[in-house]
């Protein structure tokens, strides 16, 4: 079996539109809350969507035009907050959905932010560092009409990183004529980044996983874990979960995955990944596995940490995990959600599970504005308290309404935004 490849059955249905999924999730919560129809109309649509088509000079001297987006869903509770992703499949509807999810994520954790998201249609794996810098700086200049410490604060997302944020921060600073560190979060420490930020999302995933296990009476040492996606979130989650005693048996990246039912040596795997850039070929693996097959392994806990629409009506019935922790944004379609609920599979929704990143981004923004920085132990302690408190509030509300954790989280978040919208009123 050492060299065999495990694949999942082929599926046929078309990927769900993420914005329709986001709106359907909102509509469910609005119905439970019996939300005023006027407030429903306001909150189920994005406030502002900005599309830019901009030229970039490539290394060979040619000019290429890229398309990018910045969408703001809601700014009622504070400046818009949300990442920027670089991916060939970025679409306006995807960015709109992600901006809406950011609104609920910030409200759920009670951060004083609204929701935004951005993206550029590109394949960063086929671009040089100089081309990425040129594209990032031009995109930052194009969306400078929207972003700023008091209006809209970007952060890293899929295929972007602290260096990307440094280029954006420098571009905006050069146009302003002075340094504006609070214009982005997820920056390098040398220009105002925060301790604990790179590991924040994975740490948040670990905190809520531990909370769920405690409430279910599970011992971490008796729980097997599979993680789809081994970027920053997936790799940090694997490392921290292993430290807590969980048995990580499978991981995957864009090239495929590996599986060992006896458990993977996570520190050795991290070193292998650092050295080779992929999880494939790791000596501690007993079996190669596809990304789709990983989702159907006989594990206790499943952590999707890649892209949207991983669970659909096609594969939800074959998922064997008892607990799903949504480290990715929007990995579960509403149809899959219904199947999981019927089968008794617990799903910790993305708007809480991956909220560690935006929570420490908030800490970074506060530190930049004050020019006063905290130690990492304080940051991790504050993050843990917020994630634990929010899990309890979500769980309590879900029990009160006799609904899923997702709807418990949505009811809490939507009510906070709706209350703020109602008390502020409609201008003019």
- Asked if 261 and 249 touch (Cβ cutoff 8 Å), the reply is yes
Cα–Cα distance for residue pair 223/30, rounded to 1 Å:
35
Cα 415 to chain centroid distance, Å, stands at: 22
Q: If 0-12 CB within 10 Å is exposed, 13-18 middle and 19+ buried, where does residue 427 land? A: exposed
Mean pLDDT of the chain: 95
Q: Which of 290, 264, 414 lies closest to 349 in space, CA to CA?
A: 414
* pLDDT tens-digit readout, 150-176: 999 999 998 999 999 999 999 999 999
* pLDDT tens-digit readout, 243-284: 999 999 999 999 999 999 999 999 999 999 999 999 999 999
- Asked if 303 and 227 touch (Cβ cutoff 8 Å), the reply is yes
Q: Which of 148, 110, 128, 164 lies closest to 56 in space, CA to CA?
A: 128
Angle at 270 between CA 264 and CA 274, to 5 degrees: 145
- Asked if 391 and 208 touch (Cβ cutoff 8 Å), the reply is yes
Element (H, E) at 66: strand 63-74
Q: Where are the domains of the chain?
A: 46-180, 200-353
Percentages helix, strand, coil for the chain, rounded to the nearest 5?
A: 50, 20, 35
- State the catalytic residues: 117
Q: Which of 211, 216, 220 lies closest to 243 in space, CA to CA?
A: 220
Q: Which fold has domain 200-353?
A: Rossmann fold (3.40.50)
Cα–Cα distance for residue pair 341/405, rounded to 1 Å:
10
Q: What is the CA radius of gyration of the chain?
A: 21
Cα–Cα distance for residue pair 59/264, rounded to 1 Å:
41
DSSP state of 79: S
* CATH entry, 46-180, from 3.20.20.140, 3.40.50.2300, 3.40.50.10860, 3.30.70.20: 3.40.50.10860
Q: Where are the alpha helices (DSSP H) in 34-126?
A: 37-43, 92-108
- Asked if 343 and 321 touch (Cβ cutoff 8 Å), the reply is no
Those residues with Cβ within 8 angstroms of residue 10's Cβ, 6 or more apart along the chain or in another chain: none
Q: How many residues does the chain have?
A: 428
Are 46-180 and 200-353 in the same CATH fold? yes
Cα–Cα distance for residue pair 289/298, rounded to 1 Å:
13
Strand order of the β-sheet with 48-57 is 48-57, 63-74, 114-121, 80-87, 152-156
What was the pLDDT predicted at 16? 80
Cα–Cα distance for residue pair 428/418, rounded to 1 Å:
18
Query: pLDDT below 50 — which residues of the chain?
Result: 1-3, 10
Q: Where are the alpha helices (DSSP H) in 321-425?
A: 334-343, 350-353, 356-370, 376-401, 405-424
Q: What is the distance between the terminal CA atoms of the chain, rounded to a whole angstrom?
A: 68
């Amino acid at each position: 079996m050492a060299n065999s490849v495990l694949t999942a059955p082929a599926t046929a249905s078309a990927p769900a539109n993420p914005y329709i999924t986001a709106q359907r999730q909102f509509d469910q919560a609005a119905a439970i809350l019996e939300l005023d129809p006027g407030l429903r109309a306001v909150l189920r649509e994005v406030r502002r969507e900005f599309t830019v088509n901009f030229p970039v000079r490539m290394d060979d001297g040619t000019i290429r035009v890229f398309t990018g987006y910045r969408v703001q869903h809601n700014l009622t509770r504070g400046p818009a907050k949300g990442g920027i992703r670089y991916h060939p499949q970025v679409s306006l509807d995807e960015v709109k959905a992600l901006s809406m999810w950011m609104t609920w994520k910030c409200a759920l954790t009670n951060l004083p932010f609204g929701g935004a998201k951005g993206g550029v249609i590109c394949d960063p794996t086929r671009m040089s560092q100089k081309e990425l810098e040129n594209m990032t700086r031009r995109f930052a200049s194009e969306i400078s009409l929207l972003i700023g410490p008091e209006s809209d604060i970007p952060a890293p997302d899929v295929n972007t990183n602290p260096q990307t944020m440094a280029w954006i921060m420098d571009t905006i600073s050069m146009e302003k004529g002075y340094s504006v560190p609070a214009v982005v979060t997820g920056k390098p420490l040398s220009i105002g980044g925060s301790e604990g930020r790179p590991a924040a999302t994975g740490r948040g995933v670990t905190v809520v996983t531990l909370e769920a296990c405690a409430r279910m009476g599970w011992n971490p040492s008796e729980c097997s874990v599979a993680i789809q996606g081994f970027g920053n979130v997936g790799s940090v989650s694997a490392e921290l979960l292993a430290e807590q005693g969980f048995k990580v048996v499978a991981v995957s990246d864009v090239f495929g995955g590996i599986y060992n039912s006896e458990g993977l040596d996570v520190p050795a795997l991290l070193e292998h990944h650092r050295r080779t850039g992929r999880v494939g070929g790791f000596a501690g693996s007993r079996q190669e596995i596809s990304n789709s097959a990983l989702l159907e392994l006989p594990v206790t806990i499943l952590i999707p940490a890649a892209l949207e629409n991983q669970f659909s009506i096609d594969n939800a019935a074959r998922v064997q995990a008892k607990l799903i922790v949504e480290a990715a944004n929007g990995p579960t379609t509403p149809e899959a959600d219904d199947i999981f609920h019927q089968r008794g599979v617990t799903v910790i929704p993305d708007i809480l599970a991956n909220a560690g990143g935006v929570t420490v981004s908030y800490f970074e923004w506060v530190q930049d504005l004050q020019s006063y920085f905290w130690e990492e132990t304080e940051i991790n302690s504050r993050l843990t308290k917020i994630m634990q408190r929010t899990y309890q509030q979500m769980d309590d509300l879900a029990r009160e309404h006799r609904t899923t954790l997702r709807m418990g989280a949505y009811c809490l978040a939507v009510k906070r935004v709706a209350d703020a919208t109602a008390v502020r009123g409609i201008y003019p």
